[in-house]
Chain A
Amino acid sequence: MDKSMNILVVDDFSTMRRIVKNLLVEIGFNNIEEADDGKTALPILEEGNIDFLVTDWNMSGMQGIDLLKAVRANPELQNMPVLMVTAEAKKEQIMEAAQAGVNGYVVKPFTADTLKEKVDKVFERLEQ
Chain B
Amino acid sequence: MTIMNQSKQAVRESDSNIIEYRMILAKRLVVSLETNNNQNAEEIIHELSVFRETNLYQQLDKLTRTVHDSINSFGDKGSDENQSISDINVNQDLENARDNLEYVMKLSEESAHQVINAVEHSKPLSEKLNIGADKLLTQIKGANNESQSLKVINDISGYLKEVTSDVGVIDKNLNDILLAQGNQDISGQIIQRVMAIVQDIKDGRVEILHGNQELVECNNLKETVKHVDDIGPIVPSVINTEVLNNQSEVDDLLYSLGF
Q: Which A residues fall within an 8 A CB radius of B?
A: 11, 13, 15-16, 18-19, 22-23, 26, 57-58, 63, 87-92, 94-95, 98, 104-112, 114, 125
Is B246 on the interface with A (CB-CB < 8 A)? Answer: yes
Is the Cβ of A94 less than 8 Å from the Cβ of B233? no
Shortest CB distance A97–B (Å): 9
Cβ contact of B186, chosen from A26, A90, A106, A109, cutoff 8 A? A109
Is the Cβ of A91 less than 8 Å from the Cβ of B242? yes
| A111-B179 in contact given A87-B186, A89-B243 (Cβ < 8 Å) | yes
Is B175 on the interface with A (CB-CB < 8 A)? Answer: yes
Chain A proximity mask over B143-166: 1 for CB below 8 Å, otherwise 0: 000000000000000000000000
10 smallest CB-CB distances across A and B, nearest first, come from: A87-B233, A16-B185, A13-B185, A89-B244, A98-B257, A15-B184, A15-B181, A112-B175, A109-B182, A90-B243
Is the Cβ of A90 less than 8 Å from the Cβ of B230? yes
A91: nearest chain-B partner, CB-CB: B242
| A87-B234 in contact given A26-B175, A98-B254, A107-B244 (Cβ < 8 Å) | yes
Is the Cβ of A91 less than 8 Å from the Cβ of B179? no
Is the Cβ of B247 less than 8 Å from the Cβ of A107? yes
Is B188 on the interface with A (CB-CB < 8 A)? Answer: yes
Residues of B within 8 A of A26 (CB): 175
Is the Cβ of A114 less than 8 Å from the Cβ of B253? no
Shortest CB distance A107–B (Å): 5
| A13-B184 in contact given A91-B242, A109-B179 (Cβ < 8 Å) | yes
Is B24 on the interface with A (CB-CB < 8 A)? Answer: no
Is the Cβ of A90 less than 8 Å from the Cβ of B253? no
* Given A90-B234, A94-B253, A109-B186; 12 other pairs, CB 8 A cutoff: A13-B189, A19-B179, A19-B182, A87-B232, A90-B230, A90-B242, A91-B242, A91-B253, A98-B257, A107-B247, A109-B179, A110-B179
Is the Cβ of B250 less than 8 Å from the Cβ of A94? yes
A8 to B181, CA, bound (A): 20
Is the Cβ of A13 less than 8 Å from the Cβ of B179? no
Chain A proximity mask over B245-259: 1 for CB below 8 Å, otherwise 0: 111011001100101
Is B183 on the interface with A (CB-CB < 8 A)? Answer: yes
30 contacts between A and B (CB under 8 A): A11-B185, A13-B184, A13-B188, A15-B181, A15-B185, A16-B182, A19-B178, A19-B179, A19-B182, A58-B232, A87-B189, A87-B234, A88-B231, A88-B232, A89-B234, A89-B244, A89-B249, A90-B243, A94-B244, A94-B250, A94-B253, A98-B257, A106-B247, A107-B246, A108-B182, A108-B185, A108-B186, A109-B183, A110-B182, A110-B247
| A107-B185 in contact given A19-B179, A88-B231 (Cβ < 8 Å) | no
Residues of B within 8 A of A95 (CB): 253, 257
Shortest CB distance A127–B (Å): 15
Q: Which of B171-206 contact A (CB under 8 A)?
A: 175, 178-179, 181-186, 188-189
Q: Which of B86-100 contact A (CB under 8 A)?
A: none
Residues of A within 8 A of B231 (CB): 57-58, 63, 88
Shortest CB distance B81–A (Å): 21
A112: nearest chain-B partner, CB-CB: B175
Shortest CB distance A32–B (Å): 15
A107 to B188, CA, bound (A): 16
Which of A11, A26, A87 has the largest number of chain B CB atoms within 10 A? Answer: A87
A95 to B249, CA, bound (A): 13
A110 to B182, CA, bound (A): 9
B76: nearest chain-A partner, CB-CB: A90
